[in-house]
Amino acid sequence: MRNAYIHSSGFFVPEQVIKNDYFDKLLNENVSDWLEKHVQIFERRWCSENESTSFLAKQAALQALERGNVNPEDVDLLIIATDTPEFISPSTSSKVQYEMGLINAGTFDINTACAGFVTALDTAAKYIKADERYKTILVVGAYAMSKFLNKLDKKTANLFADGAGAVVLKSTGSIDQGYLASKLITMGEYYSYMGIYAGGTNQPITNEIIEKNEHLLTIAKKFPPEINPNTWSQIALDLCVQAKITLDDVKMFFFTQININSIWETMELLKQPREKAQTSMHYYGYTGSACIPIAFEDALKQNKFGRGDIVLFIGSGGGLAFAGSAFRY
């Protein structure tokens, strides 16, 4: 029996801190009170002019390798999950592979928006389970959405932030550790609700597009408020059935960090205490495909779980994509 387990992890956020009062001044209105009361975001980190997605990914990945005492040449595969890529082409992972000296690693990017990290985690685990040539895989969720924000759009600018989180998955023959279950769902009918819609083949960037800010992140329609809690809770139940565990066996839940109220509502639907769900948006903002590994690191630093504990990762993002995965850490 081959399985994949989380060997080590790391994260990185830029040094530049953007507090809520930045938007009060920029928009000439009080948005701080709403942010702090309704979404509980107090500050976020944004890249500097010279920082980009590959830089964030590299820093988080280096920390994960260092913590796990893993040499760059030992990595067999690098998967980067992002929807703020370094380039449209080639992949962000190819640049990171080169800069990190991962000379034996194949690479590819995954874009399922903010569900990307969990999708990549699932993909990497199955590579290890299916093929004995893959013993060490580096998975990174990276996000530099500040580069795609209209700073005057209060629906988006004050929520989104930058960062990266990484894990090293390694193979094991133990049945007492590692991957337990996974589930992917897509509701494609919501593809036009939120995204960056210019820059691809559907709508190349033109001067007119830039003048209208249509090359930046757009929330075109409002998602049904119940969609995340209902879907997240169902994924959690499905993962438990697959893994032959109960919700009470789960030590920690790591959900997409875009809305704290959706997290609380999900925990109520699952009849689980709130303290079992990590919330890390308060000082990092919403970091998309990086938010779940950042929340994982945040909880790990606070000693909220340890080796042998079962954790659930459940992410959602534009598309509309959902991904869930259960691991025994």
pLDDT over 90 at 1, yes or no = no
Note whether 255 and 114 are within 8 A (CB): no
What is the CATH superfamily name and number for domain 3-175? Thiolase/Chalcone synthase (3.40.47.10)
| Angstrom distance (rounded) from CA 60 to CA 40 | 25
| Angstrom distance (rounded) from CA 75 to CA 65 | 9
Model confidence band, residue 319 (pLDDT cutoffs 50, 70, 90): very high
Number of DSSP helices (H) and strands (E) in the chain, helices first: 10, 13
- Side chain identity at 74, as an amino acid letter? D
Model confidence band, residue 64 (pLDDT cutoffs 50, 70, 90): very high
Among left, alpha and beta (phi > 0; psi -120 to 50; other), residue 71 is beta
| Angstrom distance (rounded) from CA 147 to CA 83 | 12
Q: What is the pLDDT of residues 101-146, one digit of tens each?
A: 999 999 999 999 999 999 999 999 999 999 999 999 999 999 999 9
Model confidence band, residue 212 (pLDDT cutoffs 50, 70, 90): confident
Q: Is 46 helix (H, G, I), strand (E, B) or coil?
A: coil
* Percentage with pLDDT > 90 across the chain: 92
Model confidence band, residue 315 (pLDDT cutoffs 50, 70, 90): very high
Token pair recorded at residue 8: 């080590």
Model confidence band, residue 214 (pLDDT cutoffs 50, 70, 90): confident
Model confidence band, residue 95 (pLDDT cutoffs 50, 70, 90): very high
CA 163 centroid distance within chain: 9
pLDDT over 80 at 175, yes or no = no
Q: What is the pLDDT of residues 297-314, one digit of tens each?
A: 999 999 999 999 999 999
What is the fold, at CATH topology level, of the domain defined by 179-328?
Answer: Peroxisomal Thiolase; Chain A, domain 1 (3.40.47)
Predicted local distance difference test score (pLDDT) of residue 38: 86
- What dihedral do alpha carbons 163, 169, 174, 180 form, nearest 10°? 60
Q: At 239, phi and psi to the nearest 5?
A: -65, -40
| Angstrom distance (rounded) from CA 287 to CA 144 | 8
SS (H, E, C) 100-153: HCCCCCEEEEECECECHHHHHHHHHHHHHHHCCCCCEEEEEEEEEHHHHCCCCC
Residue for token pair 């190819």: 94
Among left, alpha and beta (phi > 0; psi -120 to 50; other), residue 276 is alpha
Give CA angle at 32 (37, 25), nearest 5°: 170
pLDDT over 80 at 282, yes or no = yes
Residues contacting 302, CB < 8 A, separation 6+: none
Note whether 21 and 43 are within 8 A (CB): no
In which element (H, E) is residue 24 found? helix 21-27
Nearest CA to 257 out of 313, 192, 216, 310 is that of 313
pTM above 0.85, yes or no: yes
Predicted local distance difference test score (pLDDT) of residue 301: 95
Token pair recorded at residue 14: 């830029």
- Side chain identity at 303, as an amino acid letter? N
Handedness of CA 312, 155, 203, 215 (dihedral sign): negative
Model confidence band, residue 174 (pLDDT cutoffs 50, 70, 90): confident
Question: Can you tell me the mean pLDDT for 205-212?
Answer: 91
Q: What is the pLDDT of residues 245-259, one digit of tens each?
A: 999 999 999 999 999
User: Fold match between 3-175 and 179-328?
Assistant: yes
Mean pLDDT estimate for the chain: 96
Cross-sheet strand order for the sheet of 136-144: 3-12, 162-172, 136-144, 77-81, 106-110
Domain range annotation of the chain: 3-175, 179-328
Predicted local distance difference test score (pLDDT) of residue 311: 98
